[in-house]
Amino acid sequence: MFWGGGGQEVDTRKLRENMVKRMIKLGVLKTPAIIDAFSSVPRHTFLQGLLPPRQAYVDKPVMVKYPVSTASQPQVVAYMLESLDVEPGMKVLEVGTASGYNAALLAHLTGDPGLVYTIEYEEDLVERAREIFSELGLETISVTSGDGARGWPDGEIFQRIIITAEVDRFYPELLSQLARGGIALAPYNFYDVTTLILRLYKSEEFWGEVLPYPVSFVPLRGKEVGTKQKADSSLHRIWLSLGGRLRFSDPSSHRPWGLFLSILSQWLKGVKRDGSFYWKNWQEMGQPSSRSFKLLFSADGILTDVEWRGSRE
């Protein structure tokens, strides 16, 4: 079925403008270049065959291929792009193409679709995205099928890497493709407690920030993915240590309580496992520190500790 046909003309530009206005009002969209990207890229084209154009501009995630692939909620896409800090001319890698929408936004931000590389596990989705890219004149976006945990097949180097599936580690092979001074962003699952956006900077060492924005993503799959880390008390300590530094400033200010409750409920799940441990740590947490911290990873990319002293520069 062709959505939008049958006399059901829809002014998608107007719908897009309204979506953008709503996200600006929420405080999630700020940067002019990103606002411009969201105003230009037709989300409904990336969701064709899945739902009517009008619904493509509602702030909701959309299933692209059940149950493995979802086009993220526009608000989450916006939040991640605002955090990724893409500048014109940068080479960017996306892991998890799905609909291709985010890759198209990235193409807008880099100013050249040829600078955008996107890798997707599902071969049929690669084909689908490729067709839509050509339909929109974005055929120079490189899209390939494969396991993004291993990075881009030809070992390119990228100034920015954005993972759009949930991970519980930063895969060393993937990170080796991040340029010095580069930024990688991922929905990071903290030992099954919660998933928050982790922003990582690569310099001599790895530095990072946890962005106080709980999200839900489909998990990364593939041979390299490894078994999910199960919480144990020492790992919980890390999560709590991070959690205590979160600033509860949800950009969508209409739902600060939603954010609080979501983190609290996830925390309570842990309390049941080890109440005294949590209570002690909860009390000890708190004093705000610099938002950036040094990240220590195990050899297989799992975050094992954080260091608060020092500064990134």
Q: Is 195 an interacting residue with respect to ligand SAH (CB under 6 A)? A: no
**Nearer of residues 164 and 281 to ligand SAH, judged by Cβ:** 164
By CB under 6 A, tell whether 121 contacts ligand SAH. Answer: yes
**Is the alpha carbon torsion for 136, 140, 146, 147 positive or negative?**
negative
189 binds ligand SAH (CB under 6 A): no
CB of 78 to ligand SAH, least distance (A): 12
Task: Tell me: does residue 71 bind ligand SAH (CB under 6 A).
Answer: yes
What is the Cα–Cα distance from 157 to 154, expressed in whole angstroms? 9
Q: Are the beta carbons of 20 and 29 closer than 8 angstroms?
A: yes
Kindly state whether residue 281 participates in binding ligand SAH, applying the rule CB under 6 A. Answer: no
Q: Does the active-site annotation cover 72? A: yes
Identity of residue 192:
D
Tokens 């896409």 sit on residue: 77
Answer yes or no whether residue 218 interacts with ligand SAH by CB under 6 A: yes
Which span (62-70, 206-214, 246-254, 274-282) binds ligand SAH, by CB under 6 A? 62-70
- The reply to whether 99 sits near ligand SAH by the rule CB under 6 A is yes
Q: Which of 3, 16, 69, 86 binds ligand SAH (CB under 6 A)?
A: 69
Give the closest residue to 103 by CA, choosing from 84, 74, 129. 129
Examine residue 75 and tell whether it contacts ligand SAH (CB under 6 A). Answer: no
61 interacts with ligand SAH by CB under 6 A: no
Residue nearest to ligand SAH according to CB distances in the complex: 96
Closest distance of CB 39 from ligand SAH, Å: 17
Report how many residues bind ligand SAH under the rule CB under 6 A.
25
Length of the chain: 313
Catalytic pick from 39, 40, 69, 72? 72
Stretch that binds ligand SAH, among 95-103, 183-191, 251-259, 287-295 (CB under 6 A): 95-103
Residue from 82, 120, 168, 209 binding ligand SAH (CB under 6 A)? 120
Do 178 and 91 form a contact (C-beta atoms < 8 A)?
A: no
Distances (CA, A) of 40 to 44, 59, 156, 206, 225: 12, 16, 28, 34, 35
Quick count: other Cβ atoms within 10 Å of Cβ 272?
A: 8
Q: Which residues are the active-site residues?
A: 72
Residues lying near ligand SAH in the complex (CB under 6 A) are found at: 68-72, 95-96, 98-99, 101-102, 119-122, 125, 147-149, 164-165, 218, 220-222
